Amino acid sequence: MELKLPIYLDNNATTPMDPRVLETMLPYFVEKFGNAASRNHSFGWVAEEAVDYSREQVAKLINADPKEIIFTSGATEADNLALKGVYEMYATKGNHIITCTTEHKAVLDTCKHIEKTGGQVTYLNVKADGLIDLNELEKAITEKTILISIMYGNNETGVIQPVQEISKIARKHGVLFFTDATQAVGKIPVDVNADGIDLMAFSAHKMYGPKGVGALYVRRKNPRVKVTSQMDGGGHERGMRSGTLNVPGIVGLGKACEICMQEMDTEAKRLSKMRDRLEVSLMEMEETYVNGSREHRLPHTANISFKYVEGEGLMMGFNKNIALSSGSACTSASLEPSYVLKALGLGDDLAHSSLRFGLGRFTTDEQIDFTIDAIKNTVNKLREMSPLWEMFKEGVDINAIEWEHH
């Protein structure tokens, strides 16, 4: 079989849609075009039935009740609805939220917004392995704390936080626990009951579904959680999120969840094996480092720094053939190194020389072979051109050099 280029290894940014998902969605664009809120005729009923079925498929994947699923336009909206919604709904109880420095911007920027409106937010640091310190978390709780917001799996490093331990601490202090599980749902077993999660955001386009649709899980009992709506209108989605439902998108999300449920175990094994092979081969080069915990992480993700090489330059070397994300993260319009890697304590040099590998359902062994060769060749070529590498090879302590500033 001929290897088709370019190779896509940026599945943490988005995934291609599974053809089985598209097939399920197609009828809902043209023949079954009804509005799920139209209760007076069969067109509406057909749409409503499809939405109900999807709600069950989504709920089943995370072991929730279908009534606990609120459809949104994606995880960013779900993050906003959870954080702002809890902040407003529980204002009489308190105004303090605890989160973490390595969260996705959708959480961090929403927290910044809440601070502007008078809320208090504590941003926990992470340890060198990317995990939060549970003692620090517990110490940060005050009588004003209403919510702990810690992501499930990190989009840049793949690091998985100790969700069950976090929820135990939250429960003990009567605080709600929200997790942005965008990278985890569909990849690893996520169970809102076993994990003790009160609110959880996730998105279709990270699990081979369509873009522009996601969900917020909101617990209905023990405790019963409520959020204020951030989108007002006809009171759709139990009054928590108005707006005509994106029926084809929701159908796609449901199907994507069903497929993940059936294939997750075998897929996680296949991907972690491939990811480990990639990692072990690349680590054969000296001065190559894996960022974040290697044991607590998503099966499909690796974040690797190649010292003495610039990540952007590295990507130029094979950019036509391999689609990857560099350490300059989502906000790569700026040349700032990734805030997630800086939070792990990486210096600018290592943060700038990192690549994120996000493997996926359609990644093949041939693609990994090609990637290993291409990256090794490019790193070696760039290092040979680097005066810093030459000095390093001659045993000069680079850190001890006094650079002249002009």
CA distance 177 to 160: 16
Report pLDDT for 220.
Answer: 97
Q: Is 330 a catalytic residue?
A: yes
- How far is CA 336 from each of CA 319, 328, 387, rounded to the nearest angstrom? 20, 6, 23
Residue type, 227: V
Q: Report CA dihedral (197, 201, 203, 207) to the nearest 10 degrees.
A: -20
CA distance 89 to 235: 17
pLDDT, averaged across the chain: 95
7-12+264-400 and 19-259 agree in CATH topology: no
**CATH entry 3.40.640.10 includes domain 19-259:** yes
Report pLDDT for 261.
Answer: 98
- How far is CA 132 from each of CA 100, 138, 327, rounded to the nearest angstrom? 8, 11, 21
Report pLDDT for 329.
Answer: 45
Looking at the structure, give the CATH architecture of the domain made up of residues 7-12+264-400.
Answer: Alpha-Beta Complex (3.90)
Burial class (CB in 10 A: 0-12, 13-18, 19+), 161: buried
Q: Which run of H or of E encompasses 49?
A: helix 42-61
Per-residue pLDDT tens over the stretch 51-78:
999 999 999 999 999 999 999 999 999 9
Residue extents of the structural domains in the chain: 7-12+264-400, 19-259
CA distance 349 to 120: 34
CA distance 219 to 193: 9
**Residue in this structure with the two tokens 């159908």, named with its chain if needed:** 251
CA-wise closest residue to 87 among 113, 69, 114: 114
What's the angle, vertex CA 16, arms to CA 324 and CA 241, rounded to 5? 110
CA distance 53 to 28: 13
Q: Which run of H or of E encompasses 303?
A: strand 301-306
Q: How is 219-235 classified by DSSP, letter by letter? A: --SSS------SS-SS-
List the helix and strand counts (H, then E) for the chain. 12, 13
Catalytic residue among 100, 257, 260, 330: 330
Report pLDDT for 335.
Answer: 65
Residue type, 30: V
Q: Buried b vs exposed e over 365-381: b needs ≥16 C-beta within 10 Å?
A: eebbebbbebbbebbee
What does pLDDT average to in each consecutive run of 10 residues of the chain (406 residues)?
A: 89 98 98 96 97 98 98 98 98 98 98 98 98 98 98 98 98 98 98 98 98 98 97 94 97 98 98 98 97 98 94 82 75 70 92 95 98 96 92 87 67
In the three-class reduction of DSSP (H, G, I as helix; E, B as strand; rest coil), residue 177 is classed as strand
288 in Cβ contact with 303 (< 8 Å): no
Per-residue pLDDT tens over the stretch 312-354:
788 888 878 999 988 654 444 456 789 999 999 999 889 989 9
